[in-house]
Amino acid sequence: MRELVLVQPQHTASLARANSAEEALRQEFEALLPESGRLAYRIARSILRNDADAEDVAQEALLRAFRRFAGLRDRMRFRAWLVRIAYRIAIDRVRARKRLQQREAQWFQERERLASGGGRSTGDFPAQLEAAIEDLPEKLKLVLLLSAMEGHTTEEVAALLDIPAGTVKSRLFFARKELAEKLQCFAKPIKNA
Amino acid sequence: MFCEAYQERLKDAACGGGLEEDARAHLASCAACAATLAEEQALFAAIDNGVARIVNSEAPPSLLPRVREAVVRKRVAPRGFLHGWLWIPAAATVALVIALFLPRGDRHGVLPPVQSVQQPPFGAQTPAAPFRASAPSLIQMPAQKTRRGTSAHSVPVEVLVSTQEDAGLKQYAAVLRTRRDLAKALISSSASSSMEIQPLEIASMEWPELSIKPLAEDKNGFAK
């Protein structure tokens, strides 16, 4: 049996309409790109702490957002949508990286841990801070990161995450408190520095 | 270290929380608690600065050109209701409608008859696999007049062609686009060799002579 395809001879007008709609959509997305690109990159960078990986994740998040951009009815929600996409991709990548590390280099990590004195070094505050942020629960982590981004007020973070402003404040409070407890050993040296 | 009684409240105060009157009074009288509070506040400031430094990194300049390039390459998913899994019931409905109405329409002569059967001409670009002569290669729907007198060709007409023929037609069109001279020659030759339509000849109908014979009757007078 021969395979048949459906051919529509007079569809140039509809094609032109589709092309113009696509072009309009692309232009709309282009206008959002500079600010959205920075936002996606910052989220990815703060989760992954690696420039190249963050760039890849930001690009993937933006492309994924673009592919579904036409289906987004409320364009005001675009940033919140992008935050969730970028965060989810970055977290997935961190988990995949961890699984890979655990599978392939468990012995190496153990050796490194022993070499560093059986625990985290207490000498490097930025590294310890990054590790402490990584250990935070996801809800607290995202609120902390978004709140620390330039120009984000509590209300904006609440809008981005679709949660009440009071919840943002309490999550931020608990996130900072948890970080402070983990970094308590730096309190005195920081004060004296 | 904070004094036991005020520990939680002073920790919260260091984190940015408010301080009650009695805790404030204690802080004024207790040097150890005041010193610890200052340490805690310095720690929180360091944490805030560190987080801000981590978070507010600038995107590399290569990011946006990369995204723009990828966006240009990718097609946008069309806006419509047939997204996600909805195409499955939609396709099933279309298949059902075709299955129900196509054979019926054919039986009762609803569909217009096949007017012409053409095979796209192939020259040097003839595909390796030959066309089978048994199956029609291209079915053209005749122009029909609607009730309002407009041609049915004002709406898009869809025809079924085989994938081979589709590819062949595209190839043919591509050749004609590149070879303008060939296209002109083809058009002029088709225009010059006008098709001669033979006038219709209607053969006279022969009516045989009718003969009426009376029916034979039985003994009761009924017709046999």
Say how far apart CA A62 and CA A67 lie, in whole Å: 9
In this structure, is residue B33 part of a structural domain? yes
The nearest CA of chain A is from the CA of B212 a distance in Å of 57
Structure tokens at A128: 């310890």
In this structure, is residue B59 part of a structural domain? no
DSSP code at position B140: P
CA angle B52, B54, B57 (to 5 degrees): 95
Among B28-32, B53-57, B131-135, B196-200, the least confident range: B131-135
pLDDT at A145: 92
Give A180's contacts in chain B (Cβ within 8 Å). Answer: 14-15, 40, 43-44, 47
At residue B159, φ and ψ (nearest 5 deg) are -130, 155
Q: What is the pLDDT of residues A137-193, one digit of tens each?
A: 989 999 999 999 887 899 999 998 989 999 999 999 999 999 998 988 887 777 666
Give A55's contacts in chain B (Cβ within 8 Å). Answer: 59-60, 62-63, 66
Inter-CA distances, B35 with A45, B41, B43, Å: 36, 10, 12
Above 90 in pLDDT, residue B119? no
The nearest CA of chain A is from the CA of B46 a distance in Å of 8
Domains for chain A: give ranges and CATH numbers. Answer: 16-119 (1.10.1740.10), 120-193 (1.10.10.10)
Above 50 in pLDDT, residue B153? no
pLDDT at A122: 53
Cβ–Cβ gap A7/B71 under 8 Å: no
Longest dimension (CA), chain B: 145
Q: How much is the pTM?
A: 0.54
In this structure, is residue B106 part of a structural domain? no
Above 90 in pLDDT, residue A59? yes
Above 80 in pLDDT, residue B79? no
Q: What is the pLDDT of residues B162-187, one digit of tens each?
A: 788 888 888 888 888 888 777 777 77
Cβ–Cβ gap A22/B75 under 8 Å: yes
Q: What is the mean pLDDT of residues B24-34?
A: 87
pLDDT at B130: 47
In this structure, is residue B109 part of a structural domain? no
Amino acid type, B114: V
Instruction: Please tell me which of the candidates A3, A68, A176 has its beta carbon nearest to residue B47.
Output: A176
pLDDT at B152: 45
- Which helix (H) or strand (E) segment is A7 a member of? strand A4-7
The nearest CA of chain B is from the CA of A104 a distance in Å of 28
Give A34's contacts in chain B (Cβ within 8 Å). Answer: 64
CA angle A28, A29, A34 (to 5 degrees): 115
| Full domain range(s) for residue B48 | 4-54
Number of domains in chain B: 2
Query: Model confidence at A113, in pLDDT bands (50, 70, 90)?
Result: low
Structure tokens at B39: 């340490």
Cβ–Cβ gap A29/B71 under 8 Å: yes
Above 60 in pLDDT, residue B143? no
* CA atoms within 13 Å, Cβ hemisphere of A139: 10
Above 80 in pLDDT, residue B118? no
Say how far apart CA B42 and CA B47 lie, in whole Å: 9
The nearest CA of chain A is from the CA of B172 a distance in Å of 15
Q: What is the pLDDT of residues A35-55, one digit of tens each?
A: 899 999 999 998 888 889 999
ipTM score of complex: 0.74
Q: What is the pLDDT of residues A81-101, one digit of tens each?
A: 899 999 999 999 988 888 877
pLDDT at B82: 54
A184 lies within 8 A of chain B by CB = yes
pLDDT at B69: 86
At residue A121, φ and ψ (nearest 5 deg) are -65, 145
pLDDT at B14: 83
Mean pLDDT comparison of A49-63, B61-75, B166-180, highest-scoring range: A49-63
In this structure, is residue B47 part of a structural domain? yes
